[in-house]
Amino acid sequence: MITSAMIDSFMNVNMETVDIGKLFDISTLEFDNSLPKEKRPAYVLEKLKNPLCFRCGEVGVKLEFDDTALPLQDLLTNFMIRKKSGL
């Protein structure tokens, strides 16, 4: 189970000072499709350690979310509508 303290620690990684080499390389993640769907998130979390901060090869990646931004579903819907209309 993920706690609020864990989320705080996930979010508090400073990309300016973190050792990129110590972050999990997501390009090496192998999914275990034999696991039931409800156990797969725990499996990925166990491998990544921090799902908001990892690396892809030699590139450090930190995911951040803006609470004031539109939901992703709305953004994608608007994008698809514009794409369909030729804009």
Tens digits of per-residue pLDDT, 11-60? 889 999 999 999 999 999 998 899 999 999 999 999 999 999 999 999 99
User: What does the block give as tokens for 84?
Assistant: 């369909």
Q: How far is the C-alpha of 55 from the C-alpha of 12, rounded, in Å?
A: 16
CB 57 within 8 A of CB 27: yes
Strand partners, 25: 55
Q: What is the DSSP string of 19-62?
A: -GGGS-BGGG----TTS-GGGHHHHHHHHHS-TTEEEETTEEEE
Distance CA 57, CA 24 (A): 9
Range of the domain at 78: 4-84
Count of structural domains, the chain: 1
pLDDT of residue 86: 79
81 pLDDT exceeds 90? yes
pLDDT (0 to 100) of residue 80: 93
Residue 87 has pLDDT above 80, yes or no: no
| pLDDT for res 31 | 87
Residue 57: per-residue pLDDT? 94
Query: What is the model's pLDDT at position 3?
Result: 85
Query: Quick one: pLDDT at residue 85?
Result: 87
